[in-house]
C-alpha cells in the first residue's frame, strides 16, 4: 500500500473494520514508514481525547439536513440515512469527512492551544519508544550530539550532559511537531526516559515555566531567546522540575 492508501484506510484500521488481508498490508507498511506510524498515533491519541470528552447526541435538525443533502445528491425521494449509504455514492467520502469535522467542531469542547500542544508532545514522546527510534545519534558526548544537528535545523540547540546530577545524556534525534522539524534531546533518570524538545518559539507559548500533566505524563515548557523548550516524561513532577532548573541555569 502507498502512504495515500494507508491514510485513506487508517480510520478503518483503528476501528477494526478492515479485512484480514488489508489489515496485514497496513501493518506491513506501518512497520517501515515512520510518517504513517506517527499519523496513526496522532489519530489514536485524538480518539482517546474524544472518548474522554463524552458523547453528545446530534440534534434532529442535523439528521434532517443530512437527509436533505443526500436527496439532492442521489436524486432519491427518500434518502436512507446510514454510513454505508453515505459511502456508496460518488463524493460520499468527502461528505463523511465534512460531517465528521463539523460534528467534532460543533459538539466537542474546543481544546486549548496548550492542550493540543501537550497531546502532540506526548504522541512524539511515546512514538519514539514504540518504534524504537529514541535517538538518531546515540552518545553522551555533547560535542558529538550538537554537531549532528548542523544543517538539519534553522537554529543550533544547546546540548548539555548532566550525568553528575543524575540526568545523563543519551543522545538526540530529529523529530516533528506541527509538521515542523525540532531537536529532541534524550536524557535518562533511572529507568525513566526524558525527551527535551527544542524548537523555534511561538509567541502564543508560555515564556515562564509552565507545567502540565496528561495521560500519565508530566510536561514542563518555557521559552527564551527565541527558542521553546518542552520536557516530557513519566518521571515525577519534582525531579522533572529539578531537571528543568538545571537546563535553565546551564543556558545562562
pLDDT at 113: 65
Q: Enumerate helices (H) and strands (E) in the chain, giving the number of each.
A: 9, 7
C-alpha cell at 235: 518521571
Highest mean pLDDT among 53-62, 86-95, 236-245: 236-245
The per-residue pLDDT of the chain, averaged, comes to: 78
Closest CA to 141 of 157, 165, 160: 160
How would residue 89 be classed by pLDDT, with cut points 50, 70 and 90? very low
- pLDDT score of 109 more than 60: no
Class of domain 113-250 as given by CATH: alpha beta
6: which 3 cell numbers? 494507508
Mean pLDDT across 228-239: 95
Residues above pLDDT 70, as percent of the chain: 70
Cβ count within 10 A of residue 130: 12
In terms of pLDDT, which residue wins out, 62 or 214?
Answer: 214
Distance CA 62, CA 65 (A): 5
Q: Is it the case that residue 99 has pLDDT exceeding 60?
A: no
Which regions of the chain carry the CATH code 3.30.200.100? 113-250
Each residue's pLDDT tens digit, 127-182: 888 877 899 999 999 999 999 999 999 999 999 999 999 999 999 999 998 778 99
Separation between Cα atoms, residue 239 and residue 173, nearest integer Å: 23
Higher-pLDDT residue of 229, 86: 229
Q: Which of 48, 9, 44, 45 is nearest to 27 (CA)?
A: 9
Do 129 and 216 contact (CB within 8 A), yes or no?
no
| CA distances (Å), origin 27, targets 13, 34, 131, 205, 252 | 9, 12, 13, 36, 46
Give the separation between CA 242 and CA 209, rounded to whole angstroms. 12
Of 203, 134, 149, residue with least CA distance to 181: 149
Amino acid at each position: 500500500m502507498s502512504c495515500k492508501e494507508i491514510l485513506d484506510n487508517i480510520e478503518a484500521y483503528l476501528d477494526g473494520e478492515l479485512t484480514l488481508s488489508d489489515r496485514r498490508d497496513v501493518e506491513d507498511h506501518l512497520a517501515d514508514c515512520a510518517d504513517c506510524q506517527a499519523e496513526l498515533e496522532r489519530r489514536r491519541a485524538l480518539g482517546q481525547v474524544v472518548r474522554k470528552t463524552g458523547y453528545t447526541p446530534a440534534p434532529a435538525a442535523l439528521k434532517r439536513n443530512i437527509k436533505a443533502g443526500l436527496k439532492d445528491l442521489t436524486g432519491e425521494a427518500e434518502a436512507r440515512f446510514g454510513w454505508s449509504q453515505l459511502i456508496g455514492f460518488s463524493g460520499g467520502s468527502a461528505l463523511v469527512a465534512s460531517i465528521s469535522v463539523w460534528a467534532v467542531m460543533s459538539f466537542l469542547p474546543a481544546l486549548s492551544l496548550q492542550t493540543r500542544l501537550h497531546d502532540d508532545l506526548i504522541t512524539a514522546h511515546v512514538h519514539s519508544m514504540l518504534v524504537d527510534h529514541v535517538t538518531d545519534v546515540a552518545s553522551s558526548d555533547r560535542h558529538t550530539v550538537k554537531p549532528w544537528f548542523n544543517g538539519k535545523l534553522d537554529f543550533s540547540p544547546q546540548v548539555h550532559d548532566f550525568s553528575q546530577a543524575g540526568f545523563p545524556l543519551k543522545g538526540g534525534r530529529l523529530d516533528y511537531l506541527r509538521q515542523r522539524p525540532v531537536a529532541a534531546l534524550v536524557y535518562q533518570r533511572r529507568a525513566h526516559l526524558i525527551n527535551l524538545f527544542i524548537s523555534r518559539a511561538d509567541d502564543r507559548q508560555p515564556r515562564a515555566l509552565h507545567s502540565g500533566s496528561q495521560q500519565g505524563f508530566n510536561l514542563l515548557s518555557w521559552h527564551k531567546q527565541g527558542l521553546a523548550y518542552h520536557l516530557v516524561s513519566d518521571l515525577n513532577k519534582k525531579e522533572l522540575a529539578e531537571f528543568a532548573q538545571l537546563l535553565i541555569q546551564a543556558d545562562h
